């Protein structure tokens, strides 16, 4: 075997082991995000807290990730890939241990915040590393493997946690994650190598403050809006003003923590807009379908998790395949058919009734996530491929942050639309306290919400017509 072939094989092995190390860590962290959803009732009983209080276990997670993601580009300049990943997993492990052994609700909340601090760093580290170690024409398959984790882990979470809680206590949701996190750290310590340069960029304190207040205020406000009152809208307003000032400052200074010049690259800008709309659409279904199954079809939490499981599994298994097809054919041949599938499914969901067949819902959700597998990773890879290497950390940080915020906005928006439609239906009902009428009212509100989601998907489809395969000039000149 020639020396050149030996070097190519060594490079392939290095990439493979690094990718596996990243995927194991991400799977452990993302699986844990959906673990607690089914345990909320048990936690309320254990710690004697209200539903409004226990909900902060989810809201605080979103809040910390929303604050952390914008500064990941700065952190990527100060720490190596290996330091960032191992540090993130160590934080996640510490938070998991605190959660598992927490004597009070306050300790449990603290553990979730520390967990989120680790999780918030993992996704940008993963995407940056993939961009560094794979040439543009092979990134689709690698990003598809990330897509497998992103969809497979949350789909498995509710079903697995429901099974664990039915046999053990809620603490085992954390006990069982501890050895997985330890294994991830040990595996990464052995195989994960540094692939980026430490540049030690200037630490721009005013930008960090504006970013924290802006994204934190926005996510906190959306989380508080469910409680009613003025706190949610006020925090969202403070967050919005801070974000405007943050954007202005990033454009005005020489060394921004988020380089917004990424939007000068047309495919990156177009892809980011599409992803924002698609995340809002995705969250509409992920929030509304479980409500529909539990409140309208009267399934248990575990039963609802089982209904959603096949779609998540199919999406996870298809993501690597779609990544390879993306490398071969480019974005439009996948994204446009995928969006057409999603539009059709969301339209059919808008016409569901109070006596829908559960198998029909399983099929609809599975087809929706097939469409999603054809859209999400190809779109994000198209956008990131348009950037030069120096903008990779900024591009991934901006994209991840905006997706997170879009998901939060989508959740608040579509739940609000559903609640408004439900209230409007009951106001016209002759017997608004009748259980059948309440279920019918929820279906009416959900129908309106799904129609709005379909409109967003149609706008995404129109924008996707302008997508094209793009590789930065810098990447074109690199040896493969």
Phi, psi of 259 (to 5 degrees): -80, 100
Q: CB of 425 within 8 A of CB of 409? A: no
How many Å separate Cα 239 from the centre of its chain?
A: 21
Instruction: State the Rg of the chain over Cα.
Output: 22
Q: Is 161 helix (H, G, I), strand (E, B) or coil?
A: helix
Three-state SS at 378: helix
Query: 3-class SS at 86?
Result: helix
Q: How many CB atoms neighbour CB 377 within 10 A?
A: 29
Helix, strand, coil content of the chain in percent (nearest 5): 85, 0, 15
Query: Would you write out the chain's pLDDT as a tens digit for each of its 480 residues?
Result: 444 444 444 444 467 777 777 777 778 777 777 677 667 667 777 888 776 677 677 767 777 777 777 777 677 677 777 788 888 889 989 999 999 898 888 888 899 889 888 887 877 777 777 777 777 667 667 777 776 776 667 667 767 777 777 778 888 888 888 888 888 888 888 877 776 666 676 677 888 888 888 877 877 776 666 555 677 778 888 888 988 898 888 888 877 777 888 888 989 999 999 988 888 887 667 777 877 887 788 877 677 777 877 887 787 778 778 878 887 887 888 899 999 999 999 999 988 888 888 889 889 988 998 888 888 888 888 888 888 877 877 887 788 778 777 776 776 677 778 878 888 888 887 777 787 788 888 888 888 888 998 999 999 999 999 988 776 555 444 544
Count of CB atoms within 10 A of residue 475's CB? 19
Give the containing element (helix H, strand E) for 435: helix 435-464
Phi, psi of 13 (to 5 degrees): -65, -45
User: Chain centroid to CA 3: how far?
Assistant: 42
340: its two tokens: 């057409």
Taking each helix axis as running N to C, give the angle between helix 332-349 and helix 301-329, from 0 to 180 degrees, rounded to the nearest 10: 160
The residues, any chain, with a CB within 8 Å of residue 32's CB and separated by 6 or more, are 92, 96, 115, 119, 157, 173, 177
Domains 1-194 and 262-474 share a fold: yes
For the chain, the structural domain boundaries read 1-194, 205-256, 262-474
- HSE-CB of 289 using CA atoms within 13 angstroms: 28
Counting every residue, how long is the chain? 480
pTM: 0.74
Taking the C-alpha atoms of residue 281 and residue 291, their distance in angstroms, rounded to an integer, is 16
Q: Residue for token digits 């997706």?
A: 403
pLDDT at 263: 87
Which of the four CATH numbers 3.30.420.40, 3.40.50.150, 1.20.1250.20, 3.30.300.30 does domain 262-474 have?
A: 1.20.1250.20
**DSSP state at residue 465:** T
1-194: CATH topology is: Growth Hormone; Chain: A; (1.20.1250)
Give the pLDDT score at 274: 93
């Amino acid at each position: 075997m020639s020396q050149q072939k030996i070097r190519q094989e060594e490079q392939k092995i290095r990439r493979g082991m690094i990718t596996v190390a990243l995927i194991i860590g991400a799977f452990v962290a993302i699986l844990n995000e959906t673990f607690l959803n089914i345990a909320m009732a048990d936690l309320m009983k254990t710690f004697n807290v209200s539903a409004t209080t226990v909900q902060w276990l989810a809201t605080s997670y979103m809040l910390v990730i929303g604050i952390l993601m914008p500064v990941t580009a700065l952190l990527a300049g100060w720490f190596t890939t290996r330091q960032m990943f191992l540090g993130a997993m160590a934080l996640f492990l510490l938070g998991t241990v605190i959660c598992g052994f927490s004597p009070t609700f306050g300790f449990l909340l603290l553990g979730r915040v520390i967990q989120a601090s680790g999780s918030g760093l993992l996704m940008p580290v993963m995407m940056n590393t993939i961009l560094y170690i794979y040439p543009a024409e092979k990134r689709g398959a690698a990003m598809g493997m990330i897509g497998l984790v992103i969809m497979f882990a949350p789909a498995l979470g509710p079903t697995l946690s429901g099974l664990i809680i039915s046999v053990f206590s809620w603490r085992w949701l954390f006990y069982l994650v501890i050895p997985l996190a330890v294994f991830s750290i040990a595996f990464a310590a052995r195989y994960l190598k540094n692939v980026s340069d430490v540049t030690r960029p200037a630490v721009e304190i005013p930008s960090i403050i504006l970013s924290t207040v802006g994204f934190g205020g926005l996510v906190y406000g959306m989380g508080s809006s469910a409680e009613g009152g003025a706190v949610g809208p006020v925090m969202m307003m403070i967050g919005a003003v801070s974000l405007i000032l943050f954007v202005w400052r990033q454009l005005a200074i020489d060394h921004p923590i988020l380089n917004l010049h990424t939007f000068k690259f047309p495919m990156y800008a177009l892809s980011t807009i599409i992803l924002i709309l698609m995340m809002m659409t995705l969250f509409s279904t992920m929030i509304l379908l479980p409500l529909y199954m539990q409140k309208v079809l009267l399934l248990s939490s575990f039963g609802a998790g089982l209904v959603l499981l096949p779609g998540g599994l199919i999406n996870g298994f298809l993501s690597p395949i779609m990544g390879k097809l993306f490398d071969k054919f480019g974005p439009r041949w996948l994204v446009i058919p995928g969006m057409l599938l999603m539009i059709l499914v969301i339209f059919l969901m808008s016409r569901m009734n109070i006596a829908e067949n559960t198998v029909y819902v399983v099929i609809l959700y599975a087809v929706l996530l097939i469409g999603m597998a054809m859209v999400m990773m190809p779109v994000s890879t198209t956008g990131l491929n348009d950037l030069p290497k120096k903008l990779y950390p900024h591009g991934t940080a901006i994209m991840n942050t905006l997706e997170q915020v879009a998901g939060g906005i989508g959740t608040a928006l579509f739940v609000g639309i559903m609640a408004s439609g439900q209230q409007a239906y009951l106001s016209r009902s002759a017997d608004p306290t009748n259980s059948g009428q309440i279920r019918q009212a929820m279906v009416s509100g959900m129908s309106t919400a799904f129609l709005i989601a379909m409109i967003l998907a149609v706008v995404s489809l129109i924008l996707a017509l302008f997508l094209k395969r793009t590789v930065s000039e810098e990447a074109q000149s690199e040896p493969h």
